[in-house]
């Protein structure tokens, strides 16, 4: 009787385990986007307070505040959705002076997604300049991460000044 009960439990656990494994989706599989909270694009969130939005879809200009940029040594690479700016060791984008609405901000939020290889040395990601001080209002750099003297290709330091 006890052996029969143990076999029943083992069969039940095996069936649940097989079902769980069979339902697993590939984590690299891309599912079509679903609106999150009713928003289909990041530019829709808080749109009444948004002062700039750079999608980097075949261009570097801002789609909200009409801030134009000039790119040097940049290309565009395909991503999971649309394209993204692909920089280089000597690549950068310089933007015109921001509109008064942006200059008057007392606080702001910056959000971005980036896929970058491990740098050999410190590399700038972006800076919001402040012409009244040596450092910009915001400078973001990435630096290589080394473990026991060897570069770790999956990790890097992000530094904000």
Q: Provide the pLDDT for residue 105.
A: 83
Instruction: Please provide the average confidence, as pLDDT, over all residues in the chain.
Output: 78
Report yes or no on 20 lying in a domain.
Answer: no
Q: Which long-range contacts (CB under 8 A, 24 or more apart) does 46-50 make?
A: none
Domain that holds residue 53: 46-115
The answer to whether position 120 is within a domain reads no
User: Which tokens hold the place of 28?
Assistant: 């690299």
Stated as kind and residue range, the H or E segment containing 159 is strand 150-160
DSSP string across 117-153: PPPSS-EEEEEE--TTSSS-SEEEEEEEEEETTEEEE
Residue 120: which of 153, 148, 92, 87 has the closest Cα? Answer: 153
Quick: pLDDT tens for 6-18: 666 666 666 666 6
Split into its structural domains, the chain has a count of 1
**The pLDDT of residue 30:** 59
- 122 within 8 A of 68, measured Cβ to Cβ: no
Domain assignment present for 21: no
- Indicate whether 7 belongs to any domain: no
Residue 4 is classified by DSSP as: H
Give the 3-state secondary structure of 40-106: CCHHHCCCCCCCCCCCCCCCCCCCCCCCCEEEECCEEEECCCCEEEECCCCCEEEECCCCHHHHCCC
Kindly state whether residue 18 falls inside one of the protein's structural domains.
no
pTM: 0.63
133 or 51: whose pLDDT is higher? Answer: 51
The pLDDT, as a whole number, for residue 15 is: 62
- 31 within some domain: no
Which of the residue ranges 61-65, 92-96, 126-130, 142-146 would you say has the lowest mean pLDDT? 126-130
Q: Evaluate whether residue 15 is within a structural domain.
A: no
Whether the per-residue pLDDT at 144 is higher than 80: the answer is: yes
**pLDDT for position 82:** 84
CA distance 123 to 92: 11
The reported pLDDT for the residue numbered 45 is 81
pLDDT of amino acid 18: 66
- Tens-digit pLDDT profile for residues 21-33: 555 555 556 566 6
| Residue 130 reports pLDDT greater than 60 | yes
Q: Residue 136: pLDDT above 70?
A: no
Quick one: pLDDT band at residue 118, thresholds 50, 70, 90?
confident
In a domain, 91, yes or no: yes
């Amino acid at each position: 009787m006890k052996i029969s009960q143990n076999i029943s439990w083992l069969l039940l656990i095996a069936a649940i385990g097989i079902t769980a494994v069979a339902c697993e989706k590939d984590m690299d599989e891309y599912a079509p986007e679903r609106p999150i909270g009713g928003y289909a694009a990041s530019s829709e969130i808080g749109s009444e307070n948004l002062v700039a939005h750079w999608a980097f879809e075949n261009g570097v200009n801002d789609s909200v505040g009409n801030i134009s940029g000039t790119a040097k040594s940049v290309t565009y690479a395909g991503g999971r959705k649309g394209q993204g700016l692909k920089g280089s060791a000597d690549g950068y984008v310089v933007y015109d002076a921001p509109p008064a609405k942006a200059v008057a901000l007392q606080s702001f939020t910056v959000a971005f997604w980036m896929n970058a290889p491990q740098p050999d040395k410190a590399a700038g990601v972006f800076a919001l300049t402040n012409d009244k001080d040596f450092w910009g209002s915001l400078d973001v750099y990435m630096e290589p991460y080394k473990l026991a003297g060897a570069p770790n290709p999956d990790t890097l330091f992000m530094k904000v000044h």
